[in-house]
Structure 1
Amino acid sequence: TTNNLLSAGDLALEGRVAIDPIRTLHTTTLSEFKMPQNTVDQIDGLLNECEDMLNGVKLIQELSPKSKDQLVSYGERCAVRIMAARLNQIGVPAQAFDAWEVGIQTDSDFNDARLLPSYSDAVRQAFSKVDEGVVAVVTGFIGHDPNSKITTLGRGGSDLTATAIGSALRIDEIQVWKDVDGILSSDPRLVANAVPVNRVSYEEASELAYFGAQVLHPVAMQPAMKENVPVRVKNSYNPSAPGTLIMDGSPEDRLVTAITYKRGVKLMDITSTQMVGTYGFLAQVFGDFANRKLIVDVLASSEVSVSLTLDKKQNLDSIDCLLADLQPYAQVALKEDKSILTLIADVERSSEVLATVFRVFNSEDIKVEMMSQGASKVNISFILSDDDLEKAVLELHKCFFEDVCVVAPITSDAKKLELVKEKEAP
């Protein structure tokens, strides 16, 4: 529905109001489940309001970020009312709530709003008034700013809504339902033999999300981490599967937890043209990035050079302006069509991980253009050509998860055995 609403907004800018597909979707559902008249009236009212808004967009030929947030909210607001009505039909007492009715308060950064620090107290206060025997069905990814204007937390923000509410209430476990059996060892669209991971730490889950895994929103772990509330990822199409439990601490003794990736990134190599030993080079570089509001994914640096990546969501005009900013004091090489391959791993055993990785890369003629193992204690990232990514992911997954490695994996036990043999040799 969200995509349909965004498309309707684009059509309204072109002078056409196309509410019928959205209306048909909802009225068919209402008819199919013989929804009560009060629910039908609520949905009709929201869809009529949506149509009025689209007519306004058509007339003024403008769809601001604030207006777009209100437009996409209609899908969630209709959905929770239909879901609550259906639960009541099958004997489960339920009540629909718009997120701001249960305390979801945000700033005014429309299209990508952030929760205000006051939201936790507001959520607890709101739920103190909800009957404990009633299931609260709450809209995901939307909230209110201090002026009571509708905001969105960005695509995927429903995960954040769930963890924000669950953490504020300090419940026993937050469950996030997806279309896979929890967090997998890699993307099943690429790796047919990807397997579920039983448990991961908050930090591992956050890194997986940031570096491309589509299971959770990248910031959804923050409220759960703050309040130490476990999160379980479950499969809507396979509810009996245990899913993945995300919790505090290092849950299992394993070399690699998962392999994830981002395609289509840019690799930027920046080398100072100033004298060696001149201070302030890195500060100047990152100051220019901040001025252009560009976000770095992965970086490696020295005294006189820095290599870093920018993902495909970054504004191209801002990148062009940045190149001009850097030109007076640095040489810059910008390389397109790169990928970030990230291993979520036990970095205390990074020598074992890297020994296997580089032997695989050497065997498969895969060139590493940059590597980063930085402040995070759970990830090791490699920058590769887009053309090499698929082969790299598949071969590494075979080594770490399928026991069919193209090279013999090097482990601590294997190293000890080799040392013993060397000592025993005459």
Structure 2
Amino acid sequence: MLVMKFGGTSVGDAACFVQVANIVARYLDRQPVIVVSAMSGVTNTLLALARQAQTGDTSVTSAPVAELLASHQAVIRDAINSERERSAVSHDLAAYSRDLVSILTGICLVREATGRSLDAVASFGEKMSATLLAGVLRDRGHKAQAISAEDLIITDDNHGQAVPLIPISNRRIARHIPRLVEKGIIPVITGFIARSTSGSTTTLSRGGSDFSASLIGAALKAEEIWIWTDVDGVMTADPRLVAQAHPLEALSYAEAAELSYFGAKVLHPKTIAPALGKGIPVWIKNTFNPDFPGTLIAASRPSANSGNTVKSITSMANMSLVTVQGSGMIGVPGIAARVFAAVATTGANVMMISQSSSEYNICFIVGKSHSDKVVVALRSEFARELRAGDISDIWTQDVAVLAAVGEGMRGTPGVAGRLFGALGRDGINVIAIAQGSSELNISLVVEESQRVAALRCIHKEFLG
């Protein structure tokens, strides 16, 4: 079986749905299993409606929902020819619309949008998209069935970022999907959404349709997993920021995981793990340039692009550097443990850590939206040390994080020298540095205003 996931831009309008159907038709002999995202922008719209509803604004249940339904009905009108199929798909979309109105009305009444409610509202984007794509495929003579991943992927109750329960999910997927495929039916499965053990709809965090595809591919022991997007593969840098960026032929799992973690938009950060566990190759392909081979992500280090010590540079904006500093930290066991225990209470994810060998300070990166809560938690934890002067200050600054990634850096002398030398020549100040013993990634922190200049500088030095 071949698992193919199509993202939101790949199903942005009627023409896109037709393009996707044509792509799927090319690979019928490989028993395709489809995972689909919501139409581009729909999830944002749904969550905005839910947040508006919690103010008690009942208008969200009328015109906005009607507009959302109309955008999906436009796909029916322009991409489905059979009146019978149009009627069937329209009926299903209307039912989803009524269910959405019911949930939004409930949110209006209680004036609260819980995580459970937000996940329920967000799920309609994928449900409607899968229904449309299955209809477009059937209209072209292919047997296809829309399936909610709520019936396949079981998670915990952590709404918004649910964690899949792999054994039970694997059993459900392996029991249900092969039966359809053996009958010649193309399963069109909702990405992003799942169901908790208590029966409520959950989501795998934003962008989680990639993760859905990888989970399903691993459970099915698929031959390959193809992630269809709107670029020609994993790029050497963000092409919107670096004009010279170009697609890579191949990456190792480790390289791809580093890039996704540090902000590469092509992949969801969790995507690689299920595929890695089963040794399944992952391809990143362009829906709008389907004949381009794309980027292969494989278990072992690929030979393609192996001449480059650095394969790709990625960056994250809207980050905060949190610094805890004081002479009283020097030689005192447990300071780092207390720092990160306090941070954990805020729910902030620590993206990078750097500490001076003198132990005079420790700094780390969190998302800007969490920085104020983190500082409050740290000041509470170290209130005694701050009063005594053992810790002189705890502060934040707005920064950007860049990561240069490539297995070719391992054991190659002079890579760091080239990188920091190039930045120095361009007058870019490096605030903090981190590198793991794997030598796979050099991470660095710069002022937010210098992010793009630093990205272009490193790309020019290593990739032209």
Structure-2-length-normalised TM-score: 0.82
Q: In the TM superposition, what whole-angstrom CA distance separates every residue of 1:246-293 from its partner, at most 9, and x where no partner exists?
A: 111221322111000111211122235437433222222222222333
Distance in structure 1 (CA, Å) of the matches to 2:369 and 2:286 = 29
How far 1:338 sits from its partner (Å)?
Answer: 0.9
How far 1:303 sits from its partner (Å)?
Answer: 5.9
How many aligned residue pairs are there? 401
Equivalent of 2:177 in 111, 127, 136: 127
Assess if the C-alpha contact under 8 Å between 2:404 and 2:443 holds in 1: yes
Change (3 A) 1:275 1:256: closer
* Structure 1 vs Structure 2 CA RMSD: 1.8
How far 1:172 sits from its partner (Å)?
Answer: 1.1
The answer to which of 324-333 and 143-152 deviates more is: 324-333
Distance in structure 2 (CA, Å) of the matches to 1:206 and 1:279 = 32
Q: In the TM superposition, what whole-angstrom CA distance separates every residue of 1:104-158 from its partner, at most 9, and x where no partner exists?
A: 1111101110111222222112223323221110000000101221000111000
Change (3 A) 1:315 1:145: farther
The answer to which of 327-336 and 238-247 deviates more is: 327-336
Is the counterpart of residue 271 in structure 1 residue 312 in structure 2? no
Is the counterpart of residue 371 in structure 1 residue 371 in structure 2? no
Is the counterpart of residue 298 in structure 1 residue 352 in structure 2? yes
Counterpart in 2 of 1:153?
204
Distance in structure 1 (CA, Å) of the matches to 2:335 and 2:415 = 33
Change (3 A) 1:130 1:144: same
Counterpart in 2 of 1:143?
194
Counterpart in 2 of 1:66?
116
Assess if the C-alpha contact under 8 Å between 2:410 and 2:438 holds in 1: no
Counterpart in 2 of 1:284?
338
Counterpart in 1 of 2:263?
212
Assess if the C-alpha contact under 8 Å between 2:320 and 2:371 holds in 1: no
Q: Which amino acid in structure 1 is aligned with residue 220 of structure 2?
A: L
Assess if the C-alpha contact under 8 Å between 1:93 and 1:134 holds in 2: yes
Change (3 A) 1:146 1:390: same
How far 1:194 sits from its partner (Å)?
Answer: 0.4
Counterpart in 2 of 1:310?
366
SS of 2:159's partner is coil
What does residue range 16-35 of structure 1 map to in structure 2 within 5 Å? 16-17=59-60, 18-32=64-78, 33-34=80-81, 35=85
Counterpart in 1 of 2:388?
none
SS of 1:342's partner is strand
Assess if the C-alpha contact under 8 Å between 2:313 and 2:402 holds in 1: yes
Distance in structure 2 (CA, Å) of the matches to 1:317 and 1:288 = 10
Is the counterpart of residue 115 in structure 1 residue 171 in structure 2? no
Q: Which amino acid in structure 2 is aligned with residue 174 of structure 1?
A: I
| Greater C-alpha radius of gyration | 1
SS of 2:413's partner is helix
Identity of aligned residues (%): 30
Q: Which amino acid in structure 1 is aligned with residue 310 of structure 2?
A: V
Counterpart in 2 of 1:262?
316
Distance in structure 1 (CA, Å) of the matches to 2:116 and 2:329 = 48
Assess if the C-alpha contact under 8 Å between 2:430 and 2:445 holds in 1: yes
Assess if the C-alpha contact under 8 Å between 2:319 and 2:368 holds in 1: yes
Q: Which amino acid in structure 1 is aligned with residue 44 of structure 2?
A: N
Change (3 A) 1:273 1:324: farther
Change (3 A) 1:242 1:21: same
Distance in structure 1 (CA, Å) of the matches to 2:52 and 2:334 = 50
How far 1:244 sits from its partner (Å)?
Answer: 0.5
Change (3 A) 1:78 1:366: same
How far 1:300 sits from its partner (Å)?
Answer: 1.7
SS of 2:289's partner is coil
SS of 1:129's partner is helix
Distance in structure 2 (CA, Å) of the matches to 1:392 and 1:31 = 47
Assess if the C-alpha contact under 8 Å between 2:153 and 2:173 holds in 1: yes
Distance in structure 1 (CA, Å) of the matches to 2:294 and 2:247 = 7
Say which structure, 1 or 2, has more relative contact order (CA 8 Å, 6+ apart): 2
Distance in structure 2 (CA, Å) of the matches to 1:291 and 1:39 = 46
Structure-1-length-normalised TM-score: 0.90
Assess if the C-alpha contact under 8 Å between 1:266 and 1:334 holds in 2: no
SS of 1:131's partner is helix
Distance in structure 2 (CA, Å) of the matches to 1:148 and 1:20 = 28
Change (3 A) 1:168 1:313: farther
Change (3 A) 1:318 1:391: closer
